[in-house]
Amino acid sequence: MAGAATSAIKSVLTRHLHASPGSKKIVGVFYKANEYAALNPNFVGCVEGALGIRDWLESQGHQYIVTDDKEGPNSELEKHIPDLHVLITTPFHPAYVTAERIKKAKNLQLLLTAGIGSDHIDLPAAAAAGLTVAEVTGSNVVSVAEDELMRILILVRNFLPGYHQAISGEWNVAAIAHRAYDLEGKTVGTVGAGRIGKLLLQRLKPFNCNLLYHDRLKMDPELENQIGAKFEEDLDAMLPKCDIIVINTPLTDKTRGLFDKDRIAKCKKGVLIVNNARGAIMDTQAVADACSSGHVAGYSGDVWFPQPAPKDHPWRYMPNHAMTPHISGTTIDAQLRYAAGTKDMLERYFKGEEFPSQNYIVKEGKLASQYQ
C-alpha cells in the first residue's frame, strides 16, 4: 500500500517531464502595447507580439490565448484557469498565481516566466501541487545591470531636476549643483551578487568606486579579485559604509520587507538607493518617509508592489525619486532573448525533455536554492 502511495506521489511530481498527448491550452499574460505595437517588428513581449510564437503553436494544433486582463474573478485570465495546461507570465505585468488559482487549475502542468523572477507565483503551493515553474535565466541580466548603472548616475549627478528645468523653461544651476556629485570614489554596495549583481559590479569598476557586496554565497576568489569587490557577510555592517546601495536579491519570504524603517535607519544619512529587484523587498511607507526626511537622498527603481502601481502609490509623490514603470528587463534585446527561451522550453515540454537546469524554479516538488 505504501509503495503504491509513493508511486502515485512520484507520478504527480514528475508529470512536468512529459506533456500529455493532444492539443494544449496555453495562456500568456503580457502588457498591452496598443499603438506602440506596430512601431517595432521585434516588439514581441507585449500582448500583440505574443512572444512571436502564435503561428508556431497554432500550426501544431495548440490553443494560444493572450491577454493583459489578469486581476479579479471576472478577468480574462480567471476564465481560463480551470482548463489551461501552461501559463506564461512576465514580471513586467505580473499575473499573481495564488494558491487559490493553482487549486482551481486542474489541468495546469507548467508555469513559465518570460523573463527573470517568479515571485509573482506562490512557489510553495506550486511545489505542493507538483507543478513545474521555470524562467528564462540570464535573459535580461545585461538589460537590468545597465539600467541600474544609469539610475546610479541619474541620482548621483542630480540629473532629473536639471531635466525638469529644461522642459519648463527654467535655468537655475545652483538648484542642481548643490547636491550633484562624482561617482568616482564613492562606496557602492550591492545587496545580492548573483548574475545581475556581478555584472553591475563589473560595469562599476572603471568608475573607480569602492565596491562592496553582501550575498549568501561568496564570489569565486579570482572573479572577486578581478572586479575588486569586497565581501560583506553582515548586511547591517555594510549599510552604513555605503554612499549608494543597489538591491539585487530575489524576493523571498526572507527578503520581503527586508528594508523596513529600522534597516533604512542603519544606512548612512544621504544614502542613494537603486532597486530594480522587487518592490516588496522595501517597506513602501518607510522608503517614502525616509525620502521626505532626507535620510534617503534619492531613490530610483522600476519595481513596485503591486504592479501596475496604483495612482496613489506613495513612491509617485515622494521627493528626490527617479522611478519608472517596470521596464529595465524588457528592452527589445531582452524580449527577443526571453521569447526564444520560452519557445525552447515549450518545445522541450512537448517532447518530454528536461529544461536547462538553471531555468528551474520549482522541479519535482523542490524550490530552487535562491527561493529556499
Residue 74 catalytic?
Answer: no
Three-state secondary structure call for residue 284: helix
307, 320, 335, 359: the active-site residue: 307
Quote the cell numbers at residue 78: 480567471
Is 152 annotated to bind ligand?
no
Residue 84 is assigned to a ligand binding site: no
278 is catalytic: yes
**What is the DSSP track for 235-271?**
HHHHGGG-SEEEE-----TTTTT-B-HHHHHTSPTTE
Q: Is 176 part of any known ligand binding site?
A: no
Residues in CB range of 322: below 8 A, 6 or more apart: 151, 154, 155, 159, 160, 298, 299, 300
Burial 257-283, CB ≥16 within 10 A → b, else e: ebbeeebbeebbeebbbbbbbbbbbbb
326 belongs to an annotated ligand binding site: yes
- Whether residue 58 contacts residue 64, with contact meaning beta carbons closer than 8 Å, is answered with yes
Q: Catalytic pick from 93, 278, 321, 337?
A: 278
- According to the annotation, is 356 in a ligand binding site? no
Q: How many CA atoms are closer than 13 Å to the CA of 349, on its beta-carbon side?
A: 30
Q: Is 196 annotated as a binding residue?
A: yes
In sequence order, the β-bridge partners of residue 121 are 97
93 annotated active-site: no
Tell me if 253 is assigned to a ligand binding site.
yes
Task: Reply yes or no on whether 337 is catalytic.
Answer: no
313 is in an annotated binding site: no
Determine whether the annotation assigns residue 276 to a binding site: yes
The one catalytic residue in 248, 326, 335, 359 is 326
Given the residues 140, 275, 320, 359, select the one marked as catalytic: 140
Please tell me whether residue 296 adopts helix, strand or coil conformation: strand
Q: Is 215 annotated as a binding residue?
A: yes
**Per the annotation, does 15 bind a ligand?**
no
**Which DSSP letter does residue 372 get?**
-
Please tell me whether 328 is known to bind a ligand: yes
Known binder of ligand: residue 151?
A: no
- Backbone phi and psi for residue 179, each to the nearest 5 degrees, phi listed first: -140, 35
Binding residues for substrate: 116, 140
Binding-site positions read 116, 140, 195-196, 215, 250-254, 276, 302, 326-329
Q: Could you give the residue numbers annotated as active site?
A: 140, 278, 307, 326
Q: Which residues define the annotated binding site for NAD(+)?
A: 195-196, 215, 250-254, 276, 302, 326-329
